């Protein structure tokens, strides 16, 4: 986006009769960093006393309705600062001002950060990054505030966002109005979207937030409130003035209100002489032949453009149904619902799931996913869950880190994204299925539900630098994870996950080690209680966590648990729910199942997550010509899903009883 000169912006805002005379006078000149409220101790004017006042001041300064400024900021960051750290797509501060040249520039010349163009008269990055990823530079030009200040200081960052909104309103020729309804076009432009549907989806969420109102305390301790405007109806006609192309793609399977495009995953035979050599998904006919049971949440561990290239790479044996972009929540679909993507590392789960990749990095304190992407994802998941009758719970809406290994040797190599920094509680709020306990007096089960902002375990090993110390502490950040101990003592060792660590060693606090942690929304059977400490059954062990009144990380709840049938000393736990041998026709080889190493003994109980049939989808050839190919083998064996540890598992229904505890 070519930034509006500050003098043009000032001339535009001088026409706004509802701005105060003092503000209008101030805008006759370009705004400089000296004229901005300074942070306390910087030697300038005192900053606004509260974050709320900062929004009010910036709104007044630039003639933007305060509700619009608050609504846009909420959709970008929920008013948080993230301690000055950038988002996945290089956005800083409460207004998510983007600085891709600083954050995303690729180092490809041996460690230097040179400007390949070599011209100081032109800002670095103009050729590599579009306007949506360089809004911080536009805000700097509009306000006269330097880039470092806009990145680091919330007050100036908010003012920069207000300046951008005012500039967008002026560019559109929209009225200089105090009525938030007139700002729909500027709000839509703020999304930085490439397509009209994405811009509209962002603006619609902003206006829904303004209508409903919001209130929360930011991550740096400021109480901010957006009053509800229930009768607000935005002037959506301004959307057309943006001139954005509209996606017209009949291939996508998305809610109509979302911007989705079809970017197909590669499907090709890699060896012309071998029908079993192909990439990167399988043809099927779901849900006619198999029910879709799970929606799997991933993060990309890469930037959106590279991830899109990866799913189309004919040499890569990986695929997934959807990729979601962080900057605006844009969605690309790659594999049809009816087909099976190679995404979860477990064929049984793949055959019965849809995978969603979210632009982000599990180690990078992934709380700084944009609200826009989270809302787009939640809208898509609600649509998929309704379409395929998938329960909105943590047994069916799972992370890649909750997918079990198919066999014991596979367990250590399973992925652990989206990681401990994904905000599951917030995500389920957006799914309109908040994590709530129905209560119960027996206290025989718990729902894991830490206060995300306050829960900050000290993980290690977050650096992506080669050769970095795996024991180096990560920056403390909000987390959905609750750490489990062998004793009711915070200094006692963590649990030993024999599947993840076959050598028998205990798990540790490395960010990738999921062997001794529970996650928000998961339910577990209570094994024991001692004062403020609670033990849950976890991989056949007692995992203890501290749960004092006033700082609870779990709620006691009612629900269903599974226990071994009377007379059984132990019950095997499996990583896949396959049929019995007698169910296989002669042309399809029997797929044996082997028990995981975890012990599910008499006297233990695990949360029940539903019942699934024993099924195996046979798909081993590119053209479906292999004997018995593209058929589902169904047996008589049924399985119950259990929350055996951090990952789910399967037990045969004939081995256990299901009972409700209240």
* Segment holding 582, helix H or strand E: none
**Residue 281, both tokens:** 């998904």
* 84 Ramachandran zone, left/alpha/beta (phi>0; psi -120 to 50): left
Q: Confidence class of residue 248 from pLDDT cuts 50, 70 and 90? A: confident
Q: Confidence class of residue 24 from pLDDT cuts 50, 70 and 90? A: very low
- What's the pLDDT score for residue 398? 98
Distance CA 258, CA 256 (A): 6
* Segment holding 206, helix H or strand E: helix 196-212
- What's the pLDDT score for residue 46? 67
| pLDDT 10s digits, 88-139 | 888 999 999 999 888 876 433 233 333 333 333 434 444 457 888 899 999 9
**Residue 381, both tokens:** 């998941």
Same domain, 21 and 61: yes
Q: What is the dihedral of CA 528, 532, 538, 542, to 10 degrees?
A: -50
Q: Select the more confidently predicted residue: 457 or 17.
A: 457
| pLDDT 10s digits, 208-223 | 999 999 999 999 999 9
- Gyration radius of the chain over CA positions: 27
**Residue 489, both tokens:** 């003592």
User: Of 88-92, 239-243, 282-286, 486-490, where does mean pLDDT reach its minimum?
Assistant: 88-92
Q: Is it the case that residue 460 has pLDDT exceeding 80?
A: yes
Same domain, 34 and 119: yes
User: Of 1-10, 410-419, 538-547, where does mean pLDDT reach its minimum?
Assistant: 1-10
Q: Is it the case that residue 16 has pLDDT exceeding 50?
A: no
Same domain, 317 and 388: yes
In a domain, 249, yes or no: no
Same domain, 527 and 619: no
Q: Is it the case that residue 346 has pLDDT exceeding 50?
A: yes
In a domain, 87, yes or no: yes
Chain length of the chain = 662
In a 13 Å sphere around the CA of 245, the CA atoms on its Cβ side amount to: 6
For 637, the domain range is 570-661
Distance CA 413, CA 459 (A): 20
Distance CA 193, CA 54 (A): 27
> Of the candidates 420, 454, 471, which is a domain's last residue?
420
Spatial contact of 327 and 202, defined as CB atoms under 8 Å apart: no
Number of domains in the chain: 4
Mean pLDDT of the chain: 89
- What's the pLDDT score for residue 327? 86
Distance CA 618, CA 282 (A): 10
Q: Confidence class of residue 255 from pLDDT cuts 50, 70 and 90? A: very high
- What's the pLDDT score for residue 128? 59
Distance CA 605, CA 540 (A): 9
Q: Is the peptide bond before 356 cis (omega within 30 degrees of 0)?
A: no
According to DSSP, residue 574 is labeled B
Distance CA 112, CA 121 (A): 20
According to DSSP, residue 495 is labeled P
Same domain, 173 and 94: yes
* Segment holding 537, helix H or strand E: strand 533-538
Distance CA 398, CA 416 (A): 11
| pLDDT 10s digits, 271-304 | 999 999 999 999 999 999 999 999 999 999 998 9
In a domain, 43, yes or no: yes
Distance CA 576, CA 206 (A): 42
- What's the pLDDT score for residue 296? 98
Distance CA 515, CA 573 (A): 16
Q: Confidence class of residue 169 from pLDDT cuts 50, 70 and 90? A: very high
Same domain, 174 and 35: yes
List C-alpha distances in Å: 194 to 208, 236, 242, 257, 258.
Answer: 22, 18, 10, 15, 13
Distance CA 412, CA 287 (A): 31
In a domain, 210, yes or no: no
Q: Is it the case that residue 19 has pLDDT exceeding 70?
A: no
Q: What percent of the chain has pLDDT over 90?
A: 80
List C-alpha distances in Å: 127 to 111, 285, 446, 526.
Answer: 21, 44, 53, 58
Same domain, 353 and 416: yes
Q: Is it the case that residue 368 has pLDDT exceeding 80?
A: no
**Residue 621, both tokens:** 């050839």
Distance CA 553, CA 562 (A): 23
**Residue 313, both tokens:** 């790479």
Distance CA 87, CA 96 (A): 8
Distance CA 56, CA 76 (A): 18
Same domain, 12 and 155: yes
According to DSSP, residue 46 is labeled P
- What's the pLDDT score for residue 20? 38
Q: Which residues pair with 612 in a beta bridge?
A: 639
What SS3 state is found at 389? Answer: coil
Residues in Cβ contact with 300 at an 8 Å cutoff, skipping those fewer than 6 apart: 307, 323, 357, 358, 359, 360, 361
> Of the candidates 526, 557, 588, which is a domain's last residue?
557
Spatial contact of 208 and 228, defined as CB atoms under 8 Å apart: no
**Residue 631, both tokens:** 């058929």
- What's the pLDDT score for residue 10? 42
In a domain, 230, yes or no: no
Spatial contact of 488 and 544, defined as CB atoms under 8 Å apart: yes
Residue for token pair 């006759």: 28
Alpha helices in 287-411 (DSSP H): 304-312, 347-350, 371-388
**Residue 622, both tokens:** 């590119």
Burial class of 649 by CB neighbour count within 10 A (0 to 12, 13 to 18, 19+): buried
| pLDDT 10s digits, 589-631 | 999 999 999 999 999 999 999 999 999 999 999 999 999 999 9
- What's the pLDDT score for residue 138? 97
In a domain, 113, yes or no: yes
Distance CA 22, CA 28 (A): 10
Closest CA to 98 of 370, 360, 475, 477: 370
Same domain, 177 and 34: yes
Same domain, 383 and 278: yes
Mean pLDDT in residue range 291-320: 93
In a domain, 387, yes or no: yes
Distance CA 497, CA 511 (A): 15
Same domain, 178 and 266: no
In a domain, 107, yes or no: yes
> Of the candidates 528, 557, 586, which is a domain's last residue?
557
Same domain, 275 and 375: yes
Buried b (16+ CB within 10 A) or exposed e, 479-516: bbbbbbbbebeeeeebbbbbbbbeeeebbbbbbbbbbb
Closest CA to 38 of 23, 30, 29, 48: 48
């Amino acid at each position: 986006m070519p930034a509006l000169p500050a003098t043009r912006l000032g001339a535009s805002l001088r026409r706004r009769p509802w701005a105060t005379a003092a503000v209008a006078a101030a805008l006759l000149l370009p705004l400089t960093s000296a004229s901005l409220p300074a942070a306390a101790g910087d030697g300038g004017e005192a900053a606004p006393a509260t974050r709320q006042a900062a929004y009010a001041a910036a709104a007044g300064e630039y003639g933007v309705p305060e509700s619009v400024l608050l609504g846009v900021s909420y959709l970008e960051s929920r008013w948080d600062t993230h301690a000055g750290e950038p988002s996945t797509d290089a956005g800083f501060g409460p207004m998510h001002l983007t600085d891709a040249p600083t954050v995303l520039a690729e180092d490809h010349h041996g460690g230097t950060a040179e400007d390949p163009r070599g011209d100081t008269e032109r800002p670095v990055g103009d050729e590599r990054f579009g306007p949506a990823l360089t809004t911080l530079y536009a805000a700097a030009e509009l306000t006269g505030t330097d880039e470092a200040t806009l990145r680091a200081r919330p007050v100036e960052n908010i003012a920069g966002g207000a300046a951008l909104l005012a500039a967008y309103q002026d560019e559109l020729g929209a009225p200089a109005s105090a009525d938030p309804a007139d700002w729909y076009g500027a709000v839509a432009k703020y999304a930085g979207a490439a397509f009209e549907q994405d811009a509209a989806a962002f603006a619609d969420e902003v206006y829904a937030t303004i209508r409903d109102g919001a209130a929360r305390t930011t991550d740096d301790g400021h109480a901010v409130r957006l009053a509800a405007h229930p009768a607000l109806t935005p002037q959506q006609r301004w959307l057309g003035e943006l001139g954005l192309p509209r996606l017209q793609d009949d291939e996508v399977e998305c809610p109509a209100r979302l911007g989705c495009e079809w970017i197909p995953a590669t499907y090709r035979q890699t060896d012309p002489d071998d029908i079993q050599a192909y990439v990167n998904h399988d043809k099927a006919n779901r849900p006619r032949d198999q029910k879709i049971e799970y929606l799997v949440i991933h993060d990309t561990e890469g930037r959106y453009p590279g991830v899109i290239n990866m799913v189309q790479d004919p040499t890569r044996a990986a695929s997934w149904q959807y990729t979601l972009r962080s900057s605006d929540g844009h969605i690309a679909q790659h594999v049809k619902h009816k087909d099976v993507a190679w995404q979860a590392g477990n064929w049984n789960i793949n055959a019965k799931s849809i995978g969603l990749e979210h632009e982000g990095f599990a180690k990078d304190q992934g709380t700084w996913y944009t609200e826009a992407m989270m809302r787009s994802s939640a809208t898509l998941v609600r649509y998929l869950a309704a379409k395929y009758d998938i329960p909105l719970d943590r047994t069916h809406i799972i992370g890649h880190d909750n997918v079990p290994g198919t066999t014991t040797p596979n367990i250590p190599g399973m992925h652990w994204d989206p990681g401990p920094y994904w905000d599951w509680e917030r995500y389920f709020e957006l799914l309109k299925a908040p994590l709530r306990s129905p209560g119960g007096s027996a206290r025989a089960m718990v729902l894991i539900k830490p206060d995300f902002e306050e829960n900050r375990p000290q993980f290690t090993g977050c650096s992506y630098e080669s050769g970095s110390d795996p024991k180096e502490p990560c920056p403390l950040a909000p987390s959905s994870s609750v750490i489990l101990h062998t004793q009711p003592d915070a200094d006692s060792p963590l649990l030993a996950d024999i599947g993840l660590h076959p050598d028998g060693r205990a798990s540790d606090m490395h960010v990738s080690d999921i062997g001794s942690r529970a996650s928000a929304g998961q339910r577990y059977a209570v094994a024991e209680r001692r004062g403020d400490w609670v033990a849950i059954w976890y991989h056949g062990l007692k995992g203890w966590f501290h749960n004092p009144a006033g700082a609870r990380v779990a709620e006691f709840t009612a629900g269903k648990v599974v226990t071994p049938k009377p007379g059984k000393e132990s019950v095997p736990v499996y990583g896949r729910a396959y049929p019995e041998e007698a169910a296989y026709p002669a042309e399809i080889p029997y797929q044996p199942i082997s028990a995981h190493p975890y012990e599910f003994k008499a006297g233990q109980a695990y949360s029940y997550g539903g019942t699934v049939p024993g099924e195996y989808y046979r798909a081993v050839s590119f053209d479906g010509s292999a004997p018995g190919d593209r058929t589902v083998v169904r047996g008589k064996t049924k399985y119950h899903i259990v929350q055996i540890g951090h990952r789910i598992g399967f037990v045969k229904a004939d081995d256990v009883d299901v009972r409700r505890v209240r």
